[in-house]
Amino acid sequence: MHTNQLIPIRLYLPLLIIIMTTRKIAFRQALREAMQEEMRRDSRVFLMGEEVAEYNGAYKVSQGMLDEFGAKRVIDTPISELGFAAVGVGAAMNGVRPIVEFMTWNFALLAIDQIVNSAAKTLSMSAGQFGCPIVFRGPSASAGQLGAQHSQAFENWYANVPGLKVISVSNPYDAKGLLKSAIIDDDPVVFMESEVMYGDMGDVPEEEYYIPIGKADIRREGTDVTIVSFNKMMKVALAAADELAKDGIEAEVIDLRTIRPLDHETIIRSVMKTNRLVIVEEAWPFGSVSTEITYRVQKDAFDYLDAPIRRITTADTSLSYSSVFVEAFLPNPARVIQCVREVLYK
C-alpha cells in the first residue's frame, strides 16, 4: 500500500487490520469490479453504451461483463448518445438503475440535454415524486494527440448544475470505491475517468468498500503550501510535490475526487495550515473548478492567505493535434513548481 492512499484507508483502519488484503489491479479492473459487485447485489443495475458488451468495451472496462450478466444487463447501443442517455434517464425514473457509459465525455455533448434538462431536474420538477438514480460514466479530458474534439474536460460544466453530483477520479482505489457509491446513490451522478489511466496499477482491497461522495483526500501531507487537483492532473501535482520536497518544500496535496459537492472544508482546513494555495486542473480557465475554489477560499480563509491563490489550467484555447501543442497546452510539474515558488516568494 503506498502512502498516498493512507488517508482514506485510515478511516477504516480497525477493520483493515483484521481483514483487508490488497492486490494491485488496473484502473479499468477497479471500475469493472465496482460495476460487477453492484450488479451482483442489485438486479436493477445494468450497463449500457457503445461497444460495452460484445466488444468488451472500447477501453476494455467492461471486459467479461456480457458473459457474466448476459445481454439483458450489459447492453450495446448504436451511436445514438442523445437517445440512449434519454432511455437511461426514463428508465431511472421508472425504478431501475442504469449505468450509462459514454465512449468519452466529448461524445456526451450530444446527450447533455438529457443530463441537464432531464436527469438533473426530474426530482425537483416532480416535487420528489420521480428521482433519477443513474450513473453517467466514461473517460474525460485529453489523451495524447487526439485533436480539438477528443480532448475536452467538462467537470466544471456538470458541476454547475444543481441536481447532479460530479466525481472525477485519479487512481484505482478511489475509482472503485467511488463508483460503487455512485451506483448506490439515489441521485444522478456524472463520473469521469481517463483514457490514459485505464492501465494504471494501484492497490485495491480484496474486500468490498465504499468511499463517500463529497470527501476530498489528502494524498500527501505538508505544511508549506496546499496543492489541489483531481483526475490525471493529480500525477502532475504529486510529481511537483516530490520535486519540491527535494528542496525542503513540503506541499500538502489534496485530491478532490468529488467535484460536486465540493469538499471546501478539507481545502480550507489545509489552507489555514499552509497559508498558500495552488490549484492544478486540466480544464479551460474561464469559470473552472479552480475559479470556484478560489472564491470560497478567499471568502472563508482570507485572513489566512499569505499570497494570492494561483492556478495552473490548460491554455485558453482548443487543443490542436501536433505534439508541440499538447506540450504547450497541458499543465506540467515545472509550471506547478514555478507557481509554488512564487506563492512562497522563493
Partner 1 sequence: MAKVSKESYLFWYETMLRIRRFEEKAGQLYGMQKIRGFCHLYIGQEAVAAGTITALKHEDPIITAYRDHGLAIARGTSCNAAMAELYGKATGCSKGKGGSMHFFDKDNYFFGGHGIVGAQIGLGAGIAFAEKYKGTDNVCICFFGDGAARQGMLHETFNLAMMWKLPVIFVCENNFYAMGTSVERSSNVTEIYRLGEAYDMPSKSVDGMKCETVHDAVAEAAERARKGDGPTFLEIKTYRYKGHSMSDPQKYRTKEEVEEYKQKDPIETTLSTILKKKYATEAEIEAINERIQKEVDDCVTFAEESPYPDASELYTDNYVQSDYPFIID
Q: Which residues are catalytic?
A: 81, 150
103 interacts with ligand TPP by CB under 6 A: yes
Among 3, 18, 72, 78, interactor with partner 1 by CB under 8 A: 78
Q: How far is the CB of 223 from partner 1 (least distance, A)?
A: 25
Phi/psi at 47 (nearest 5 deg)?
-115, 135
Phi/psi at 166 (nearest 5 deg)?
-130, 125
Number of residue whose CB is nearest ligand TPP: 107
Based on CB atoms, which residue is closest to ligand TPP, 49 or 333?
Answer: 49
In the 3-class helix/strand/coil scheme, how is 280-315 assigned residue by residue? Answer: ECCCCCCCCHHHHHHHHHHHHCHHHCCCCCEEECCC
Among 271, 312, 336, 337, interactor with partner 1 by CB under 8 A: 312
107 interacts with ligand TPP by CB under 6 A: yes
Residue 311 grid cell:
492556478
Among 28, 165, 220, 310, interactor with partner 1 by CB under 8 A: 310
Closest CA to 209 of 247, 243, 181, 185: 181
326 interacts with ligand TPP by CB under 6 A: no
Among 11, 13, 19, 79, interactor with partner 1 by CB under 8 A: 79
302 interacts with partner 1 by CB under 8 A: no
* Contacts (CB under 8 A) with partner 1, residues 94-153: 106-107, 109-110, 144-150
DSSP code of 180?
H
Q: Which stretch binds ligand TPP (CB under 6 A): 102-110, 137-145, 204-212, 240-248?
A: 102-110
Burial (Cβ within 10 Å: 0-12, 13-18, ≥19) of residue 254:
buried
Q: Enumerate the H helices of 94-171 as residue ranges.
A: 112-113, 122-125, 155-159
Strand order in the sheet with 97-101: 74-76, 45-49, 97-101, 135-139, 189-193, 165-168, 258-260
Among 13, 71, 79, 334, interactor with ligand TPP by CB under 6 A: 79
Q: Which stretch binds partner 1 (CB under 8 A): 6-14, 49-57, 91-99, 219-227?
A: 49-57
Q: Which residues bind ligand TPP (CB under 6 A)?
A: 50, 79, 81, 103, 107, 110
